[in-house]
Structure 1
């Protein structure tokens, strides 16, 4: 699967369109490995199998499993999805479990997700009523929820920040002028992350 095309959707993530993004960014909370969410270890493993196809490990770039995207996704789904959104997400994972996705060959996994990506508009959306406000809201297709969370988790991971970007702690040393070459890593936190990520090995179309 073409990672460059998938990573273009990072602009949506920065814009806060991922379910739970607004609450998460405002909460300022931190996660610990001891915390347990609604996903089982088996479901986390399955989620990372899916994410690894979208963001595979290469010689120069860590993959979704390296970034432990499952643990991040578990916290977001647990703490910031409402019950109906959690149901949609869990049903999506159940579908992948039923097809025994984790045991498919790499080519079969890629073909399955490519079908999902190609037919994205045909994926069902779910409309729910907010009992408190009386308003209705529509979820993203389940596959989109999984893909967005995977990319968000990947870009938020320490291993990606330190290995694929020039990580600059703030506050930190200011360097006014530096030489930029084709080997220069993009700056972490670049205002155009979708463009900057084209420099990550494996993102070329």
Structure 2
């Protein structure tokens, strides 16, 4: 007897309260390609692949994947982006999906993102145009959105705060003069503002 049948049997014993409870007890038996947010699980994984090239794992620092930046980005794009920003973001992400970005070699990924950087320098404003609807508007380039959100998510993560910064969730006494060496970590400051991110 499998797990699902066992749970249904238990439900009969306790008065049928478990029968049909897929949304609760039997949820682990199903798999969804959709998160609660705008992006699919595969898109979130793709975002982390892109972010890992921007913020790679090193011996001393965790990478974007270690910080699990994908779900954070999904939540921000879902809850805080306008419908127009979401269109540009998804259009940009679709380009990476088409080129199968997560499967290509690291040096090829780096070359693609370096090209994106140079394109942004030449064209800091992106013009979105939909031929079917006739909709047109100005926006930040999709790559800029991805990069800014990746950095924000990375710096907001607990693993980065604890490993890369002098993380003091409850500050102690104020010390005006502290000796600084090459091993001294910067103080962790949170939250980051949108204004600061737009300068990245």
TM-score, scaled relative to structure 2: 0.69
What secondary structure is seen at the aligned counterpart in 2 of 1:160? helix
| 8 Å CA contact retained: 1:123, 1:142 | no
| 8 Å CA contact retained: 1:37, 1:74 | yes
> CA offset at residue 126 of structure 1?
3.2
> CA offset at residue 165 of structure 1?
0.4
Q: CA RMSD in A?
A: 2.2
What is the alpha-carbon distance in structure 2 between the residues aligned to residue 139 and residue 118 of structure 1?
17
Match of 2:193 in 1: none
Q: Does 1:114 align with 2:104?
A: no
What is the alpha-carbon distance in structure 2 between the residues aligned to residue 167 and residue 137 of structure 1?
42
| 8 Å CA contact retained: 2:125, 2:139 | no
| 8 Å CA contact retained: 1:52, 1:65 | yes
What is the alpha-carbon distance in structure 2 between the residues aligned to residue 76 and residue 126 of structure 1?
22
Match of 1:184 in 2: 184
Match of 1:126 in 2: 127
Match of 1:39 in 2: 39
| 8 Å CA contact retained: 2:88, 2:128 | no
How does 1:42-191 map onto structure 2 within 5 Å? 42-120=42-120, 121-122=122-123, 125-126=126-127, 138-189=138-189
If asked which structure has higher relative contact order (CA below 8 Å, sep 6+), I would say: 1
What is the alpha-carbon distance in structure 2 between the residues aligned to residue 172 and residue 153 of structure 1?
26
What is the alpha-carbon distance in structure 2 between the residues aligned to residue 62 and residue 98 of structure 1?
28
| 8 Å CA contact retained: 1:72, 1:153 | yes
What is the alpha-carbon distance in structure 2 between the residues aligned to residue 171 and residue 59 of structure 1?
28
Match of 1:199 in 2: none
> CA offset at residue 85 of structure 1?
1.1
- Where structure 1 has 5 or more consecutive residues not aligned to the other structure, the ranges are 1-34, 129-135, 191-205
What is the alpha-carbon distance in structure 1 between the residues aligned to residue 125 and residue 104 of structure 2?
24
What secondary structure is seen at the aligned counterpart in 2 of 1:138? strand
Deviations 1:108-131 (A, max 9, x none): 000110111112123761369xxx
> CA offset at residue 170 of structure 1?
3.9
Deviations 1:160-179 (A, max 9, x none): 11100001224434344432
What is the alpha-carbon distance in structure 2 between the residues aligned to residue 100 and residue 127 of structure 1?
23
Deviations 1:68-119 (A, max 9, x none): 1111100000000111211111111110000010001000000110111112
User: How many pairs are equivalent?
Assistant: 149
Match of 2:10 in 1: none
